[in-house]
Amino acid sequence: MSQPTALVTGAAGFIGSHLTERLFRENYTVLGLDSFSDYYAREIKERNLRAALEHSRFTFVEADLRSADLNGLLTRHNVSVIFHQAGQAGVRPSWGRDFQPYVERNILATQALLEAVVNLPDRSQIQKFVFASSSSVYGDAETLPTGEDALPRPISPYGVTKLAAEHLCMLYAKQYGLPVIALRYFSVYGPRQRPDMAMNIFISALLRQNPIRVFGDGEQTREMTYVDDIVNANLLALDVPDGAPRVYNIGGGSRATLNAILETLGGIAGTPPRLDYVERAAGDHRHGAADISRARRDLRYEPTVGLEEGLRRQYEWQRDMVYSKE
């Protein structure tokens, strides 16, 4: 029997590259697509892809979702499941002139992919379409932990574009019966975390014994989710029963203040961090906490990596990279 083929968009990114490697272990053939967008260095993404490129069941296409012949790719490779991870991430840079790539890479790219699926000769070829949504759609949520039925009210332009993309997915599901599931990820961390993300910046500063800039008083909370748990959730989403809800929070199971996270990191590094508190950044939400009972019930999702262990793994990954360069 031939292996099922999965399309992973954003396969060279932080989450997409982990997901790709896990899919090989689950016996999938993977079609990876990525445009190497300019948000961060291409060489980092090439390194993310290195292991996948050695795999015999991997085909990589460098292309932008907005211009690629997606319909042709889906047909030729007989793709049966789609994990749509490609996007323009990052909350703070989404204001001002830099908003355009958010519209292009989150909204227009998602619409192009949905259209490609709708226009397949046989739409039922696609058994699941999993969309990487974000907890940023909630903004400053009124209830904590926040459930999926809370009114999404993003407080950053990034969150607005992720919510628009999620709505497009739901609209295509309703209009054309596409089997879409949206996973709202809560702050993902672990090896290969993007260089613009907080944990990566904190750990880099610790390794270089530089001061760490903290936006706000450090008492803001985040639900931190280890990347392997995000990958698990994507696979579990393939088995969501018919008629179940289409949107799921995916969190790490607990939340912590930034100050507590920094203390844990200092313990792992064996040096107390030097902290430099600056004004809160526009678009940053105050608290984040996921109610994951729906994912537990329908996906049988359970976070498996606790915060200290996850931070240690990311710390060791970054430390090894710094030393390998010296």
Q: Which two tokens stand for residue 272?
A: 């107390």
**Residue list 261-320, contact with ligand NAD (CB under 6 A):** none
Q: Phi and psi at residue 30, in whole multiples of 5°?
A: -120, 130
* Residue 14 one-letter amino acid: F
Between CA 11 and CA 269, with CA 320 as vertex, the angle to 5 degrees is 115
Rg of the chain, C-alpha, whole Å: 19
* Least distance from ligand NAD to the Cβ atom of residue 27, Å: 23
Instruction: Determine the Cα–Cα distance for residues 134 and 182; give it in Å rounded to an integer.
Output: 9
Count of residues that interact with ligand NAD, criterion CB under 6 A: 31
Burial label, 121 (beta-carbon count in 10 A; 0-12, 13-18, 19+): exposed
Under the binding rule (CB under 6 A), the answer on residue 203 touching ligand NAD is: no
CB-based contacts of 93-101 (< 8 A; 24+ apart in sequence): 93/196, 94/156, 94/157, 94/158, 94/161, 94/283, 95/156, 95/157, 95/282, 95/283, 99/157, 101/37, 101/39
- 32 DSSP β-pair partners: 8, 60
Which of the stretches 145-153, 172-180, 186-194, 252-260 binds ligand NAD when contact is defined by CB under 6 A? 186-194
Strands (E), 57-216: 58-62, 79-84, 128-134, 180-185, 188-189, 212-215
Write each residue from 22 to 41 as x if it is in contact with ligand NAD (CB under 6 A), else as -, in one continuous string.
-----------xxxxx-x--
Contact status: 12 vs ligand NAD (CB under 6 A): yes
Kindly state the smallest distance separating residue 299's Cβ from ligand NAD, in Å: 17
Shortest reach from residue 110's CB to ligand NAD, in Å: 9
Q: Which residue's CB atom is positioned nearest to ligand NAD? A: 13
Q: Which of 39, 102, 138, 158 is catalytic?
A: 158
Q: Which of 7, 65, 203, 240 lies at the binding interface for ligand NAD (CB under 6 A)? A: 65
Which residues 217-236 are close enough to bind ligand NAD by CB under 6 A? none
Catalytic site includes residue 248 = no
Only one of the segments 5-13, 71-79, 141-149, 171-179 lies at the binding site for ligand NAD (rule: CB under 6 A); that segment is 5-13
Collapse the DSSP code of 126 into the 3-class scheme (helix H, G, I; strand E, B; otherwise coil) and give the result: coil
Closest approach, Cβ 230 to ligand NAD, in A, equals 8
Q: Pick the closer one to ligand NAD by CB: 107 or 206.
A: 107
Q: Which of 29, 94, 110, 134 binds ligand NAD (CB under 6 A)?
A: 134
85 near ligand NAD, judged by CB under 6 A: yes
Amino acid sitting at position 142: E
Q: Tell me which residues touch ligand NAD (CB under 6 A).
A: 9-10, 12-16, 33-37, 39, 45, 64-66, 85-89, 105, 109, 132, 134, 162, 185, 187-188, 194
Residues carrying an active site annotation = 158
